[in-house]
Structure 1
Amino acid sequence: MNQTIKHFLADEKATQAWAARLAKQAKAPLVIFLNGPLGAGKTAISRGFIQALGHTGAVKSPTYTLVEPYELADIAIYHFDLYRLADPEELEFMGIRDYFSEHSISLVEWPERGDGWLPKADIVINLDYENEGRQLECIAQTPVGEHIVAQLK
């Protein structure tokens, strides 16, 4: 397991296009963790992913609300941004377990801040700066993740 792919993303357009390819392979239930420094493209990945699944409105970072829900025809997508989470136990108070169901896909930015309260990720995406673009590393963590990452190669 732990199949990995790496990909260079030249700009935001390339980032959203890659995220759309990922979305085409995604089926609920699915948990994706997004790691990287501020401004590395975590929200751009989320935006491209959510819009590729059919959401036509804006996709904003849920930095202050912690979670932004998107209800689509047959699935719920939850976009978490845990950057401002003061204590991981706050996730219990917001009913974090209710968000992870058979009919949901969850994208979690800054997952380390919710350590101990989040389920295991199917896929971990690491983003970092590389010259003017970004280097993306996509790592499968479960059999579901393995299948998806294999389709992206």
Structure 2
Amino acid sequence: MNINPSTQHHQDARELETHAHDQTVALGRAMGRRMNRGLVLLLFGDLGSGKTAFAQGLARGLEVPPSFTVTSPTYTLVNEYPGRLPFSHVDLYRLPTPVDPDEIGLLDLFSEGGIVAVEWAQRLHPADRPACRMDLFFTVTGDNDRSIRIIAYGLDPSDLLNDIDV
């Protein structure tokens, strides 16, 4: 498996490339294994860019039991899963912009201490994004290739961004 770190553009950022769906899942799994406290991850990217694949891996890294199928909660808005840390997978695709996070219960999720991954996070107004979070920008760069830029806000980036072993 080959995930190549690119040059860093921001001191709290890292850019990775994946070359297969399984590598995007593996990146999520590797990050999930390193998580030891609540964290919000905001996932940005077009349809098919790897957001859900990453969330599936994240769930496995958080030890969500294999009996739970992790799918994008496009129609239910939030899927919650048990694991080493509680995992909430949110999809804002079908909601109008900007989303009121309090109206749909996101502020409660953000403060509950579990891991929250929000797909289509661009639908949140920047002022409604938690100060302590990770933003992940997924870009399709080829048929199976993805560029994933990860920026940490209010975190020690070495917690999750350095030495990711996939």
Provide the TM-score with structure 1 as the length reference. Answer: 0.87
* Preserved CA contact (<8 Å) 1:22 1:148: yes
Q: Which residue of 2 aligns with 1:150?
A: 162
Distance 2:26 2:151 in 1: 18
Aligned identity (percent) is: 28
Aligned length: 151
Match of 1:47 among 45, 53, 56: 56
Task: Write 1 or 2 for the structure with the bigger share of helix.
Answer: 1
Distance 1:25 1:71 in 2: 17
Within a 5 Å distance, the mapping from 1:3-152 to structure 2 comes to 3-55=12-64, 56=66, 57-73=68-84, 75-86=85-96, 87-89=98-100, 91-115=101-125, 116-132=127-143, 133-152=145-164
Consecutive aligned runs of 4 or more in structure 1 exceeding 3 Å deviation: none
* Preserved CA contact (<8 Å) 2:132 2:155: no
* Preserved CA contact (<8 Å) 2:43 2:117: yes
Q: Please provide the CA RMSD for this pair.
A: 2.0
Provide the TM-score with structure 2 as the length reference. Answer: 0.81
- Which runs of 5 or more residues in structure 2 are unaligned? 1-9
Greater Cα offset, 128-137 or 116-125: 116-125
Displacement of 1:99:
0.9
SS at structure 2 position matched to 1:51: helix
- Which runs of 5 or more residues in structure 1 are unaligned? none
* Preserved CA contact (<8 Å) 2:13 2:157: no
Distance 1:2 1:51 in 2: 28
Displacement of 1:103:
2.6
* Preserved CA contact (<8 Å) 2:43 2:51: yes
Distance 1:129 1:46 in 2: 17
Distance 1:121 1:112 in 2: 17
